[in-house]
Structure 1
Amino acid sequence: MVDRKLAEGIVRENVPQPGRASSKLAASELAQRLSEYAFLLDIDGTLLDLAPTPREVWVPPDLAETLSCLHDRTSGALALVSGRSLNDIDLIFAPEQFPAVGGHGAEMRISGDSEAVATHAPPMDKELKRRLAAIAKLSPGILLEDKGYSLALHYRLAPHAEKAIYAAVSLIRAELPNAPIEVLPGKCVCEIKQSGFDKATGVRELMTHQPFRGRRPIFIGDDVTDESVFAIMPDLGGLAFSVGRRAQGVIDHFDEPRDVRAWLAGLIDGEAGARR
């Protein structure tokens, strides 16, 4: 659990290595050294509380302001890292537009005012997508979300359908063993995407570009799809935090998204205090 000391204590200098005790990361000290860090943030379940459907998420009014301030004070080294498409991310945070890795690494935007680019990710085969989409007809309450590079079957409103959904996906995969796809289990969602890219490949690519290059990344995520990024943080000299659980490879965790939002707001307050 990340307690108040996370926002008020001291930053430990060394990046934790496997087998070493985890360290706390404190907003008050970190705020004075924002130029050294890049902030990479998952959205659903990390910045925002989960909702019955993806369209029902609520963005607290002060969150966009916090992200905008942190983006400015890191000279642009803040990016949203999500399974959502870049277009969907922009709709959620409109009118703000941030650097982002979208579609589980399929899309990327280096700066808020740059053009979005695909990171060598081909769109999913139309016939395969059609067959997977038909799974949504198994039960009322299954919500189909077409992300272009992936397809998500949300069953938060039909939790009884979980086993049937995964069984149907497994059957299609068995019938098409050469189809280059991966299944991403999440929180009441089964997502199927093209293989060959994920959030980790997107983050690695992002970190080769300015203003991210040469900075120490701090990644915060909550779900299974974030574990690939947790795993590469040591390679990048970075720090990983999970939300809701202590995931493998992280140095600490937050209990809820509101704790993440409070911590990020504390960075802004601490940086403003340091300039006085």
Structure 2
Amino acid sequence: MMENLAEMQDELPEEQDTPDQVPVPQSLVPHLSETAILLDIDGTLLDLMPTPREVWVPPGLAKTLNRLMARTSGALALVSGRSLNDIDLIFAPDQFPAVGGHGAEMRLFADAEAVAAQAPPMDKELKRRLAAIARLSPGILLEDKGYSLALHYRLAPHAERAIYEAISLIRADLPEAPIEVLPGKCVFEIKHAGFTKANGVRELMKHAPFNGRKPLFIGDDVTDESVFAIMPDLNGLSFSVGRRAQGVNGHFDAPSDVREFLAHLLDDERSPAP
């Protein structure tokens, strides 16, 4: 069990000393007619809250996103571990193209039907055992995302190690289970190992109106690192939030800075490059 625990701890993001925010130069961003804007939600667009259900869309953000949708001819998508249904509830009545469930679901247009990837659902018995970890302490919140399961401990930070050990024990007991554990900001997310946000973004970029454009991705957490890693392959840009992640082009201190940056992109009246 200790080997599994050590392995899980190696997966945790290293604490990095983050210097004062380095402003993201707007000149890096191609003209909006050439850009596909891809945005994580929790901790990137929206401020983190004590529980996942408490997140809210600040005034003006939906208007900014809709204007960017228009200026990019629809090439704006939300990229999240949340399900598409959950994303729609948060942003209701607005609806946006999205990659949901860590790449398990996709919607290419705001008014289109969702397309599910060939992502198998998590085994029911495995999900039951993982869900039982929430009983370890009051304040551990279970979030069933369909294709994944999240254990939030923002309200029970003392339970972090106990959650490590419980997940490690299950992994040791079921070594062949095709699962991946993603440690995040006061959360452990357990999902099927066969799909990632990066897979979803690669597929998204094959289709209109995203194909042929340069992606600009902004994310904050370990779950976004797979997308940071593929941006050079797609001739794109990536920015992290709250920390300077490896390989990104820049970073923002907080979601409020991301929202301000997106609003400023609408000031871009440059002509497309010939």
Q: TM-score, normalised by structure 1?
A: 0.88
Q: Aligned equivalents of 2:115 and 2:166: distance in 1?
A: 33
Could you say what the CA RMSD is over the residues aligned between the two structures, in angstroms? Answer: 1.3
SS class of match (1:80): strand
Determine the structure 2 residue equivalent to 1:6.
Answer: 25
| Structure 2 counterpart of 1:170 | 168
- Mapped to 2, the partners of 1:95 and 1:2 lie a distance apart of 35
Secondary structure, aligned partner of 2:161 = helix
Give 1:39 shift: 0.3
Q: Deviations over 1:256-276 (max 9, x none)?
A: 1111100100111334x98xx
How much has 1:119 moved relative to structure 2? 1.3
CA–CA distance in 1 between the matches of 2:119 and 2:239? 27
Q: Secondary structure at the match of 1:235?
A: helix
- The letter for the 2-side match of 1:56 is E
Deviations 1:224-267 (A, max 9, x none): 11000000000000001001111001011011111110010011
Alignment match, 2:152? 154
Q: What residue number does 2:16 align with? A: none
- Quick one: which amino acid aligns to residue 165 of structure 1? I
| 2:127 aligned partner | 129
2:38 match: secondary structure: strand
C-alpha displacement of 1:58: 1.9
Matched, 1:224 2:222: yes
Give 1:170 deviation, angstroms.
0.7
Q: CA deviation at 1:6?
A: 2.8
Q: 1:248 aligns with which of 246, 249, 254?
A: 246
Distance 2:257 2:71 in 1: 21
Once the two structures are superposed, residues 187-243 of structure 1 have per-residue CA deviations (whole angstroms, 9 ceiling, x without a partner) of: 000010011101000000000010000100000000011000000000000001001
TM superposition shift of 1:128: 0.6
| Aligned equivalent of 1:36 | 34
**Partner residue in 2 for 1:145:** 143
Q: 1:75 aligns with which of 73, 76, 83?
A: 73
Q: 1:200 aligns with which of 198, 201, 209?
A: 198
Match of 1:90 in 2: 88
| Partner SS, residue 59 of structure 1 | coil
261-270 or 77-86, larger mean C-alpha shift: 261-270
CA distance in 2, matches of 1:111, 1:204: 16
The aligned counterpart of 1:18 is none
Letter of the 1:177 counterpart: P
Distance in 2 between residues matched to 1:122 and 1:114, nearest whole Å: 22
Specify the SS of the correspondent of 2:266.
helix
| TM-score of the pair, normalised by structure 2 | 0.89
Residue segments in structure 1 that go unaligned for 5+ positions in a row: 12-24
The amino acid of 2:25's aligned partner reads L
SS at match of 1:58: coil
Distance 1:258 1:117 in 2: 31
